[in-house]
Amino acid sequence: MDYKDKTNEELIFELNKLQFEHNTLKEDYNKCIAKHKSQEVIRPNEKEQIKVILDLIEFPIFIKDNDHKITLANSAFFDIFCMEEECVIGKTLVETVPQKESEHFLKVDRGVLETGISDQQEEELTVKGFSHTILTRKSRFLDNSGNRFLVGYIQDITNRKKAEKILQESFKEIADYKFALDESAIITITDENGIIKTVNDNFCKISQYTREELVGNTHRLINSKFHSKAFFKEMWDTIISGKVWRGLIKNVKKNGEYYWLDSTIVPFVGVNKSPYQYLAIRFDSTDYKNVIDNIARAKNLHSSLFDNSAIGLYQTTPKGEILSANNAIIKMLKFDSLEDLLQRDLKTGSYVNENKRIEFETIIQERGKITDFESEWYTKNGDIITILEEATATKNTKGEIVRYDGSVQDITFKKKIQNELIEAIKKVEESKKLLNETGKIGKVGGWEFNIDTLKQIWTEETYLIHEVDFDFDPNVENGINFYTSASKPIIDKAIKRAIEFGESFDLYLEIITAKNNLRNVHAIGKADIENRRIYGFFQDITLQEQVKKELIKAKEMAQENDKLKSAFLANMSHEIRTPMNGILGFSELLKNPKLSGEQHQNYIQIIEKSGKRMLNIINDIVDISKIEAGLMKMDIKESNINEQIEYIYTFFKPEVKAKGMQLFIKNTLPKKEASIKTDREKLFAILTNLVKNAIKYSNKGSIEFGYVKKGDCLEFFVKDTGIGISRDRQEAIFERFIQAEIEDEMARQGAGLGLSITKAYVEMLGGNIWVKSEEGIGSIFYFTLPYNVESSKRNNLKKIEEKGNTENQVKNLKILIAEDDEISEMLLSVNVSEFSNEIINVRTGTEAIEACNNNPDLDLILMDIQMPSLDGYEATRQIRKFNKDVIIIAQTAFGLTGDREKSLDVGCNDYITKPIKKDELDSLIKKYFNK
Ligand code: ADP
């Protein structure tokens, strides 16, 4: 029999049966033994009988003598050892079993034989490799002769032992399960009426009732009244029918709190097929239940949100076919219902710009989702709305997109507002910029400060006016510190009154900037007490103030000039009238035929002197007017200063000599280094003026003029031993119109313009002029000019030969005089007669050209500039086209500087100022022809 296939119940049943059989046998045996004992000795015929009886017994029975030899045994004994009777009787069987076992058997046998005490024990017996568990009982009996015998029986309990082992293991397993279940679950057992019979600790713990309170009660004690009657009826119907019920039950604790149990109720069905008890195994599911509830709630919320959301929600196939859409999207796209919308294909029917849909698909396919996607959609009625879309792609296990879940928001209005906002911000920025720009142009800054914190805010221009960096942190205190000591108390008081009484202020003050510049400012402040602030404007008016000051100065100067000019005009009038009087008066006297020759000469000299004086005045007026009007031009050319000085020396030498004085010159540079770039005419005028004055204001001694080189400059000087100039007049003499105010007989001989013209010229040429003088001793006038050397170009002007003898060597020139005024022509003719052998006279420019054409051998032309029909400039220009050799000397009126330059430009070799003085003309002719 294989016990492994048996159920526990069957094994127990088998075991009990064996036990019963064993007991019966034991009884029979004992009876037998008792019978034998009474007879004391077994008789031989009795032995046969016994054998027959023994054979009837299923258990192996044996009798051993004192030497452990088997004397009697039944067939069951032979069977267990698998041996024939003949091989057993009279043997010890020691060889049959393993040594260890046989030693044990012998030891037990010996003990029983010796002591007579019966022995019963479980032993191991191995026969032919098969092991058995046997229960052996051994007793001793003595025969009549006192021989000791051992009677024993064997019970093979191998199967029983195996069954017991399995049973034990099963019990252990069940106990483990029970323990585990008890530990983890909440267990109750109720009888068929629902009365609680057993509860475990867990149930007591969760219900908060003691075991005593629970046992004998029904589950009503813990009923939360949450479930319906139908719920419990269904449960009872299930378990009564013998089926297991499972479900969530909400119970109430002793303290009134609720808890959920995931319960499994197992009915135990008895022989009458109806349950006699119920085992409930439960687990605390309060958390689980909560989760379930939350999920359910979330599901509800989700569907409610889906339907009621203000955001449009949709699900579409990747092709754009709508799977679901909420009310918001239907409304947004102006459809009547979901069915209406379902006609629409979101892929092709919505996007205004098809490329947008392509872009949408590309992104979602690449990234699996798309956010903040802005596009324009058509509504049902064709309106265009701006949509902000978000969507996620759902993929199947193969990774293919099966669905898009998306949300859309109509941001048309938002977008419009946003655009308007951007526009508004742009405008604000522009106005801010404009304000800043305007601030910059007008140098107007803004400021504001909080009355409580005294922290200031400045606009950009305010920082610039204060000349501080933009990281400067202004407050009222450091703001006030910029003001000058005179302005500080004023602004301080104004701000205090603004804070205290809300008074505005409008002040003109001064600040010292961070870079230590003094600035005039216009500070305007307004109080806004309600908002706890003072604010205002701040304007840099330094320039305006300066202009204002300069204007006042200019006005004063203009007034002063006006005064001077009036005085000057009065003087001019006097200056012009005086020589005029002389000329007209003495001309009148000349008419008298009774005049002596000496008187005659005398009057003519006075007329000549007066004429010269008047001409000087007129020349000066013309020059100063040009300087004043800014019309005086410069003509910078190579000029040899040694030559000029020598020329002036030659020119003035006779006049100085006539006064009984001496004239010296000092040229410190060798002639080839004495070429500078300057305006030759102006330098000539400067030197002439100064030398003229030296002669004019000296009556004795000597006059010396020249120059020395000092660094980059040439320092010129004109020194005399004349009347000198008092210290207080040394500056005034260079000022225009000053002369008129000087009360000095001798000084009043001039118009007082010579030195101011001279000074203007010196400055135009880049130099300075000053005087050192002592009254009664003499004066030295100094002026400087920059030493502008150009070594490559050398002056190739023809030299003025300084020759001791003034004898004329120039003769036989063929001279053309172009002059429209008859008297002037006569004067010229007389003056040049000594140099010429032929003089041709013409009246116009055209005639001059013609004459020149007809006389290619002409040596000299004296060309008047102002002539009718064609003037001297044009005539010269044309003559130069065919005759480059003839020397042309222009006669210019009134010494106008412009005329001189122009005449040289058109091709004249030189010029002479009208009225023509004989010695001047002689020098010029000699300059060109005295070779
Ligand atoms: P004026 O035509 O009066 O000479 P200037 O401007 O040339 O005008 O000179 C101004 C004044 O300066 C003269 O009137 C004279 O008083 C004084 N002055 C000029 N040069 C000399 C000089 N070399 N010696 C003394 N006084 C002079």
> Which amino acid is present at 694?
A
Q: Which of 342-346, 508-512, 638-642, 657-661 has the lowest mean pLDDT?
A: 342-346
Side by side, the strands of the sheet bearing 769-774 are 662-667, 702-710, 713-720, 778-786, 769-774
- Please name the residues in contact with 60: beta carbons below 8 A apart, sequence gap of 6 or more: 73, 74, 76, 77, 79, 80, 153, 154, 156
pLDDT digits (tens, 9 = 90+) for 846-865: 999 999 999 999 999 999 98
Q: Which of 28-42, 451-465, 646-660 has the lowest mean pLDDT?
A: 28-42
Q: Which of 687, 733, 762 to mutate to test the pocket of ligand 1 (most atoms within 8 A of CB)?
A: 733
Q: Which of 739, 777, 781, 783 to mutate to test the pocket of ligand 1 (most atoms within 8 A of CB)?
A: 739
Contact by Cβ (8 Å): 353, 380:
no
Residue 143 pLDDT level (bands cut at 50, 70, 90): confident
Residue 715 pLDDT level (bands cut at 50, 70, 90): very high
Q: How far is the CA of 733 from the centre of ligand 1 (A)?
A: 7
pLDDT digits (tens, 9 = 90+) for 768-777: 999 999 999 9
pLDDT digits (tens, 9 = 90+) for 67-88: 989 988 998 899 888 888 888 8
- From the CA of 734, give the closest atom in ligand 1: 6
Q: Please say if the pLDDT value at position 37 is more than 80.
A: no
Q: Please say if the pLDDT value at position 706 is more than 90.
A: yes
Give me the count of residues in the chain: 931
Nearest CA to 814 out of 782, 855, 850, 766 is that of 855
Q: Please say if the pLDDT value at position 797 is more than 50.
A: no
Q: Please say if the pLDDT value at position 104 is more than 50.
A: yes
Q: What is the pLDDT of residue 742?
A: 45
Q: How far is the CA of 723 from the centre of ligand 1 (A)?
A: 10
**Per-residue b or e along 876-915, where b marks 16 or more CB atoms closer than 10 Å to that residue's CB:** bbbbeeebeebbbbbbbeebbbebbbbbbebbbbebbbbe
Nearest CA to 689 out of 762, 630, 743, 614 is that of 762
**Eight-state DSSP code of residue 797:** P
Q: What is the pLDDT of residue 798?
A: 35
Output 796 or 332, whichever has higher pLDDT: 332
Q: How far is the CA of 610 from the centre of ligand 1 (A)?
A: 18
Please give the average per-residue pLDDT across 810-821, as a whole number. 87
Q: How far is the CA of 770 from the centre of ligand 1 (A)?
A: 13
Q: How far is the CA of 620 from the centre of ligand 1 (A)?
A: 13
Hey, whose CA ends up nearest to atom 1 of ligand 1? 750
- From the CA of 724, give the closest atom in ligand 1: 25
Nearest CA to 873 out of 887, 888, 895 is that of 888
pLDDT digits (tens, 9 = 90+) for 609-626: 888 878 877 888 888 778
Question: Does ligand 1 lie within 6 Å of residue 571's CB atom?
Answer: no
Q: What is the pLDDT of residue 795?
A: 38
Q: Please say if the pLDDT value at position 120 is more than 50.
A: yes
Question: Does ligand 1 lie within 6 Å of residue 722's CB atom?
Answer: yes
Output 348 or 796, whichever has higher pLDDT: 348
Q: Which of 1-5, 316-320, 369-373 has the lowest mean pLDDT?
A: 1-5
pLDDT digits (tens, 9 = 90+) for 798-810: 333 333 344 556 7
Side by side, the strands of the sheet bearing 860-864 are 836-842, 813-818, 860-864, 887-892, 910-913
Q: How far is the CA of 775 from the centre of ligand 1 (A)?
A: 13
**Eight-state DSSP code of residue 300:** H
Question: Does ligand 1 lie within 6 Å of residue 215's CB atom?
Answer: no
Question: Does ligand 1 lie within 6 Å of residue 697's CB atom?
Answer: yes
Q: Return the HEC string of 66-78.
A: CCCCEEEECHHHH
Q: What is the pLDDT of residue 783?
A: 96
Q: Which of 615, 734, 748, 755 to mutate to test the pocket of ligand 1 (most atoms within 8 A of CB)?
A: 755
Q: How far is the CA of 747 from the centre of ligand 1 (A)?
A: 6
Q: What is the pLDDT of residue 818?
A: 93
Question: Does ligand 1 lie within 6 Å of residue 320's CB atom?
Answer: no
Instruction: Compute the distance between CA of residue 780 and CA of residue 730 in angstroms, rounded to an integer.
Output: 11
Q: How far is the CA of 703 from the centre of ligand 1 (A)?
A: 15
Share of the chain above pLDDT 90, in %: 31
Residue 590 pLDDT level (bands cut at 50, 70, 90): confident
Nearest CA to 86 out of 73, 102, 68 is that of 73
Please give the average per-residue pLDDT across 22-46, as a whole number. 67
Question: Does ligand 1 lie within 6 Å of residue 750's CB atom?
Answer: yes
Question: Does ligand 1 lie within 6 Å of residue 720's CB atom?
Answer: yes
Q: Please say if the pLDDT value at position 673 is more than 90.
A: no
Q: How far is the CA of 447 from the centre of ligand 1 (A)?
A: 61
Q: Determine phi and psi for 800, rounding to 5 degrees.
A: -95, 110
Question: Does ligand 1 lie within 6 Å of residue 754's CB atom?
Answer: yes
- From the CA of 749, give the closest atom in ligand 1: 3
- From the CA of 718, give the closest atom in ligand 1: 23
Q: Within its chain, how far is the Cα of 559 from the centroid? A: 60
Instruction: Compute the distance between CA of residue 466 and CA of residue 480 in angstroms, rounded to an integer.
Output: 11
Q: What is the pLDDT of residue 686?
A: 94
Q: Determine phi and psi for 678, rounding to 5 degrees.
A: -160, 180
End-to-end CA distance of the chain: 173
pLDDT digits (tens, 9 = 90+) for 144-175: 888 899 999 898 888 888 888 888 888 888 88
The SS3 assignment for 702 reads strand
Average pLDDT of every residue of the chain? 85
> Which amino acid is present at 117?
I
Rg of the chain in Å (alpha carbons):
75
E strands in 616-712: 636-640, 662-667, 675-679, 702-710
* Confidence (pTM): 0.35
Instruction: Compute the distance between CA of residue 793 and CA of residue 40 in angstroms, rounded to an integer.
Output: 182
DSSP strand pairing (860-864 vs 813-818): parallel
Question: Does ligand 1 lie within 6 Å of residue 706's CB atom?
Answer: no
Question: Does ligand 1 lie within 6 Å of residue 758's CB atom?
Answer: no
Q: Please say if the pLDDT value at position 66 is more than 70.
A: yes
Q: How far is the CA of 103 from the centre of ligand 1 (A)?
A: 172
Q: What is the pLDDT of residue 773?
A: 94
Q: Which of 568, 693, 698, 700 to mutate to test the pocket of ligand 1 (most atoms within 8 A of CB)?
A: 693
Question: Does ligand 1 lie within 6 Å of residue 623's CB atom?
Answer: no
Q: How far is the CA of 701 from the centre of ligand 1 (A)?
A: 18
Residue 308 pLDDT level (bands cut at 50, 70, 90): confident
Q: Helix 542-590 to helix 597-629 angle, to the nearest 10 degrees?
A: 160
Q: How far is the CA of 769 from the centre of ligand 1 (A)?
A: 14
Question: Does ligand 1 lie within 6 Å of residue 718's CB atom?
Answer: no
- From the CA of 698, give the closest atom in ligand 1: 24
